[in-house]
Structure 1
Amino acid sequence: MAVADLLVMIFAVIVYLIFNYHFPYSFLSYTAACKFILYINFVNLDMSVWFTVSFTFDRFVSICCQDVKDKYCTKRIATTIVFTASILACLKGVPMFFSYEAERVIDNVHWGCRTTEAVYTLPAWTVYSWMQSTSVVLLPFSLMALFNSLTVRRILLANRTRRGLRGNGSESQSDAELKNRRKSIVLLFTVSCSFILLWLTSVGSFAATRISNSVYYQGGYSSPGYIATEVGYLLLYLSSCTNTCIYAVTQRKFRDELNIMLRSPWVLFVELFEDKKQFKSNQRFISSRKQHFKFIYV
């Protein structure tokens, strides 16, 4: 989930929004490169969304479904879900290559990207657009709200029952189980609620434009629909950088793995340097021994 969010920030914000704006007519402006960047943006955003939904569902199963917890909450299942979600996101984005065409042709070189007329006229593209918007905006938003509400209800009931069983005399004692549950619910709600709140504007903009069959850019840049949609995009991309920060702050294991990843190139470099130094030392030792035996033989 952190990697997918980081890829969204790199390709959607840095490459597509910043580099394309400040470096027009660079290789990023070629139609082929533009199509590929738009495809990567869609795939990364889709993976980021559904990895967050999968994380929320995983916490829901771990807390609320004790019967299937041991079978579902395993490394193999997690790997399968991540791999399947990635493949489906890549397949869902394939039509993006055919929905754009060159914006202009200069000396037989295709520059820029613009939406083809078929996207606005063919019913198949309308169905695909609705499916894309629903799978990235409405469905994840609804699923996360549902799983969070059920998880919170289960945790509150479990904590109330546990405190009742422990009795009033032991309330002042430290309860490791309650602390673990508290940490779990804090992490879950920090990730999930930040996603829901930052996507709320996009959901409202989608409801106001797509469901009402209106176009957000009617009325120019001062149109309320246009402003709401652009603010929704801003918050949407902002939600992609919060999960990585949340994990870096709250999860010790995540910080340890991140530290190992950042240190590994330097460790590899040091090991190669030490191996090379040891190799040269061995070569000098072998050379000296040869000279010694040669002297003895003579």
Structure 2
Amino acid sequence: MEKSVSVEYKSYGVRWYILGIYSIFAASEACVFNTWGPLAQSAKTGFGWSDAAVAWIPNIQIISGMVSLPMAYPVLQKFGFRSTVVFWGAGVHALGIILRCVSLDPTILLVTSLICSALNGWTAAMIEGTLTTLSARWFPAGERTTATGISIGVQMAGLIPPSLIFPRIVTDPGMSITEENGSEEIKNNIKSEVSYILYGEAVLSCLLFVIMLLYFPSHPPSPPSASAKADRYNFFQGIKQIFTQPKNIIAGLAFASVTVPLMWIAVVNQNLNPLGMNQVETGYIGTFIITASFLMNIINSGILSIVACH
């Protein structure tokens, strides 16, 4: 008769550090996504870009993320959780932002910004593909929904600095050009002010990569619950379940409908500037949308965690 092997289930306090650094990394990805939208008028004046060029920067990330998402699970299966997050996620994220700092020449910066967006789209796919794995490996069943909600909420909060702070750092040409203050001087000011943002984001992304490189284990020494070690669906089985079960399709459509107004913040300045609203004012609108989404996400996650325990 075989002896049963007892497994000790334990929750470690370090799980909150792992969730915290992961969430800040996700927020950095969101911040890069929203860099140019709130500064559309400054980008057009300072670098001579068109409305279409500014809009295509976040568009490229969305397209890249959609294309990359199906590859997230195979990458996770082949390289493991740590390598997927640290190297394929944070490493690629930092690489894209560093490339964007190569030159402030308008043409070069536009190209590197598009490349950065494409790499950031890949990063977003790695984040979306590993979030539930983090929750399952590090948190007991009663905390997983909350942990997932916190990470998504912090990622949403990463959209706030570009909307609320960046328009206060970079000159708004519509509010600044006067007879004493010529357009050429404004262009130079805008380029200089934008460089502070680009370099700041690069420093943050590299710092996060180094921190995660030093300590970001794949799993705790002991699992937090039995389900943490349970077998997961095969990737293709999961895809089949998504598209063959009505409840999954409805949930997907509901999520997609929510992201439409949230993604509008990337072009809100371009849409409302013709109505006389400046970058600071449209930034307030974006901030309100993001803050409401962040709070509702945290509240809903907490409610679901409570309900799941009953």
Q: Tell me the TM-score normalized by structure 2.
A: 0.31
Q: Which has the higher contact order (CA 8 A, sep 6+)?
A: 2
* Structure (1 or 2) with the larger CA radius of gyration: 1
